[in-house]
């Protein structure tokens, strides 16, 4: 197994990088280390942040340092921990149309597909939440059908609506709030993805969750949007 790279990220952070690609097996190593550090916390560690290929370890430099953490991680990886599935499979309702995702017609045309076929392919896949980032609650999802891979827009929009479901390159994602984006908008979910006022699940999704999308009509969208307690349907543990 390839030894990870250790990257010094300022005086209070260490990045443990396992590779350079978007790959489920590589991400499993990230999750395994994250779970090991959660189960047996190291002195001084404040937070661990998983991404596609690395785990960022944030720490108090008064309590510990980079060399101490590297030695501790090396000891953990000497007997590699197995990843335990802790995520959920969540069904997310989405209204797909030009009214809800203005780039759907142009994306379909660029891929040589009908709009219905884009929706069929987008809802057929199961997506892994690899990381949360860019802004609070934004989901980076792997598993997009290659037929839907589309380069990002040449001219990003300064504002795209909260709940937008979009495609950028080989990824798809869900906007947690109004935000700038160069991704192609193909639909919108009525669910509130990020709500700091919620007592639980401030972020609806977490790294390690699996997401499936379900096409809904405008009436269903309106009903769910009017319900502040609406949540994705939990289909059970992630694969």
pLDDT in tens, 33-63: 998 998 889 999 999 988 888 999 999 999 9
Instruction: Record the pTM.
Output: 0.83
Annotated domain spans of the chain: 5-78, 88-237
pLDDT tens track for 154-186: 999 999 999 999 999 999 999 999 999 999 999
The answer to whether domain 5-78 and domain 88-237 are alike in fold is: no
Tokens 């997310």 identify what position? 92
7: β partners? 15
Q: Contact, 107 vs 118, CB < 8 A?
A: yes
Q: Contact, 141 vs 211, CB < 8 A?
A: yes
Q: Specify whether domain 5-78 bears CATH 3.30.560.10.
A: no
CA distances from 225 to 42, 54, 123, 230 (A): 42, 36, 20, 8
Question: Residue 238: CA atoms inside 13 Å, Cβ hemisphere, count?
Answer: 22
Query: For the purposes of burial, counting CB atoms within 10 Å of the CB of 166, is it exposed (0-12), middle (13-18) or buried (19 or more)?
Result: buried
- What CATH number matches the domain at 88-237, 2.40.100.10, 3.40.50.300, 3.40.50.2020, 2.130.10.10? 2.40.100.10
Helix axes 24-39, 66-78, angle to 10 degrees: 110
């Amino acid at each position: 197994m390839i030894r990870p790279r250790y990257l010094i990220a300022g005086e209070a952070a260490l990045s443990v990088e396992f590779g350079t690609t978007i790959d489920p097996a590589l991400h499993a190593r990230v999750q395994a280390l994250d779970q090991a550090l959660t189960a047996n916390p190291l002195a001084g560690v404040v937070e661990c942040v998983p991404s596609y290929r690395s785990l960022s370890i944030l720490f108090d430099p008064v309590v510990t340092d980079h060399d101490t953490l590297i030695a501790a991680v090396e000891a953990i990886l000497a007997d590699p921990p197995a990843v335990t599935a802790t995520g959920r499979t969540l069904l997310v309702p989405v209204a797909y149309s030009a009214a809800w995702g203005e780039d759907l017609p142009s994306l379909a045309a660029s891929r040589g597909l009908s709009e219905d076929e884009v929706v069929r392919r987008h809802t057929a896949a199961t997506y892994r939440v690899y990381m949360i980032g860019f802004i609070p609650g934004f989901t980076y999802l792997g598993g997009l059908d290659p037929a839907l891979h589309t380069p990002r827009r040449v001219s990003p929009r300064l504002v795209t609506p909260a709940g937008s479901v979009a495609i950028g390159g080989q990824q798809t994602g869900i906007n947690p709030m109004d935000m700038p984006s160069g991704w192609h908008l193909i639909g919108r979910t009525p669910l509130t993805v990020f709500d700091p006022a919620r007592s639980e699940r401030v972020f609806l999704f977490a790294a390690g969750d699996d997401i499936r999308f379900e096409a809904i009509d405008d009436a269903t969208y309106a009903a769910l949007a009017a319900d502040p307690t609406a949540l994705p349907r939990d289909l059970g543990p992630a694969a």
